[in-house]
Amino acid sequence: GHHVSSQRIRFQRRNMPCRYDIDRFTPSFLSIFESLVPSQEEIAKQKQLLTSLSRIINKEWPNSKLYLYGSCANSFGFSNSDIDLCLSIDDKEMSKVDIILKLADILQAANLRNIQPLTRARVPIVKLMDPETGLSCDICVNNLLAVVNTKLLRDYAQIDRRLRQLAFIVKHWAKSRRVNETYQGTLSSYAYVIMCIHLLQLRRLLPCLQEMEATYFVTVDENNCAYFDQVDKLNNYGAHSRDTVSRLLWAFFHYWAYEHDYTKDVISIRTGRIISKERKDWTRRVGNDRHLICIEDPFEISHDLGRVVDKFTIKILREEFERAANILQFDLNPSVTLFEPYVP
Ligand code: ATP
Ligand code: MG
């Protein structure tokens, strides 16, 4: 029946080597990458906004500190994306919600626009627009784990340029195909970057920084975050490998379409290996965590970045991985077809 033959197709595809002419497409993929990278001018504007907001907020809270995090600081951000900021503040008197409300007042008085405090969100934030730079941003409070994982991603990106190339193309694919929407049950950009890092660790293009002797340590809400962060000493790490962005893209989608064992495996950049669902006790649904695709957070290790995926969206995701793998294997124009918008 249909089931048997589709199993057979899957099996055959799994053993298929990469097409011999994959590198014909490398220039096109690299030019897509270049077109998505933010300009120096844009990066300077982001810094300017950080400086002016820090000045405003420090007047009220002299001991606070404002950090950039997320895509504008982890080096995986596209041009024209929103800015994520995190205010670190040690005020035992005030709750997070009170801080958010007071922050909104301070920003209002300083003439920032479109100020919206969202106090009931899972992560409470203030949204605003800066008329000077035209940039929009979200400010959250005391979410330091996000600041630390931002640094980890940025440090990995410095080791081998192919990580950034791969992750940009994967994010662009995910946005085009509408599988980058956590509120719809698909994966965050953060999760896709972790999936790319893991693939490059398996292929020995990247080391596992958390398994090396730590040169950077912080403790955030009981989580010990420690890793080797002198990455300028590692910039020859992947030099032995001639993998190009096209081959890595093929490997990425082939892995998630045909090689990953969804019933048993957890990917873990903390260890640089695949670990078992059994060992993490992620074999069944617990509350809202379904563990249908398992991606361990590097610091909050009880946190599965795939937990938002449900029994409907896992099918959509796997079909999209297969579609992408097949395009890279067979299509005449993969650098176009891969990003064709999803039409419901
Ligand atoms: P985009 O370009 O799509 O805006 P982004 O890099 O800002 O991408 P998001 O997924 O919006 O990615 O995440 C922003 C930041 O928030 C991440 O860099 C990470 O620090 C943190 N983050 C997001 N999701 C999680 C999560 N599930 N667990 C821990 N930290 C997360
Ligand atoms: Mg973002």
Q: List, for residues 156-181, the tens digit of each pLDDT value.
A: 999 999 999 999 999 999 999 999 99
Mean pLDDT (whole number) for 67-80: 96
What are 181's two structure tokens? 């929407």
- Does residue 327's CB lie within 6 angstroms of at least one atom of ligand 1? no
Instruction: Tell me, in angstroms, the distance from the centre of ligand 2 to residue 85's CA.
Output: 10
Cα separation, 276 vs 282, in Å, equals: 9
DSSP β-bridge partners for residue 295: 267
More confident of the two residues 228 and 122: 228
pLDDT in the model for residue 2: 57
Closest CA to 296 of 185, 190, 165: 190
Residues present in the chain in total: 344
pLDDT in the model for residue 150: 98
pLDDT in the model for residue 78: 97
pLDDT digits (tens, 9 = 90+) for 239-259: 999 999 999 999 999 999 999
Cα separation, 154 vs 81, in Å, equals: 17
Q: Burial-class residue 76 by CB neighbours within 10 Å (0-12, 13-18, 19+).
A: buried
Cα separation, 217 vs 225, in Å, equals: 6
What are the b/e assignments for 179-202, b being 16+ CB within 10 Å?
A: bbeeeebbbbbbbbbbbbbbbbbe
Q: Report residue 286's pLDDT band, with 50, 70 and 90 as the boundaries.
A: confident
Percent of the chain at pLDDT > 90 equals 90
Q: Report residue 13's pLDDT band, with 50, 70 and 90 as the boundaries.
A: confident
pLDDT in the model for residue 3: 65
Instruction: Judge whether residue 92 has pLDDT over 90.
Output: no
Instruction: Judge whether residue 4 has pLDDT over 70.
Output: no
Which residues are CB-neighbours of 185 under 8 A, at least 6 positions away?
308, 309, 310, 312, 313
Q: Which atom of ligand 1 is nearest to the CA of 193?
A: 6
Give the pairing of strands 223-227 and 216-220.
antiparallel
Name the DSSP letter for residue 256: I
pLDDT digits (tens, 9 = 90+) for 16-29: 999 999 999 999 99
Structure ipTM: 0.94
For residues 14, 307, 309, 123, the Cα torsion angle rounded to the nearest 10 degrees is -140
pLDDT in the model for residue 225: 97
- Does residue 189's CB lie within 6 angstroms of at least one atom of ligand 1? yes
Instruction: Tell me, in angstroms, the distance from the centre of ligand 1 to residue 330's CA.
Output: 33
Q: Where are the beta strands (DSSP E) in 130-188?
A: 136-141
Stretch (H or E) spanning 217: strand 216-220
Pick from 69, 71, 164, 173 the residue to mutate for probing ligand 1's pocket: most ligand atoms within 8 Å of its CB: 71
pLDDT digits (tens, 9 = 90+) for 114-134: 999 999 988 899 999 999 999
Which position has the token pair 């405090």?
A: 117
Q: Which amino acid is at 69?
A: Y
Give the pairing of strands 265-268 and 273-276.
antiparallel
What are 293's two structure tokens? 């695709």
Report yes or no: 63 and 78 within 8 Å, Cβ to Cβ. no
Instruction: Tell me, in angstroms, the distance from the centre of ligand 2 to residue 284's CA.
Output: 30
Q: Which atom of ligand 1 is nearest to the CA of 171?
A: 3
Q: Where are the beta strands (DSSP E) in 16-146?
A: 65-69, 83-88, 113-118, 125-129, 136-141
Q: Count CB neighbours of 264 within 10 A.
A: 13
Instruction: Tell me, in angstroms, the distance from the centre of ligand 2 to residue 175's CA.
Output: 13
End-to-end CA distance of the chain: 28
Q: Burial-class residue 332 by CB neighbours within 10 Å (0-12, 13-18, 19+).
A: exposed
Pick from 179, 189, 195 the residue to mutate for probing ligand 1's pocket: most ligand atoms within 8 Å of its CB: 189
Instruction: Tell me, in angstroms, the distance from the centre of ligand 1 to residue 129's CA.
Output: 20
pLDDT digits (tens, 9 = 90+) for 175-225: 999 999 999 999 999 999 999 999 999 999 999 999 999 999 999 988 899
Closest CA to 70 of 164, 150, 125, 181: 150
Which position has the token pair 């410095």?
A: 158
Q: Which atom of ligand 1 is nearest to the CA of 305?
A: 27
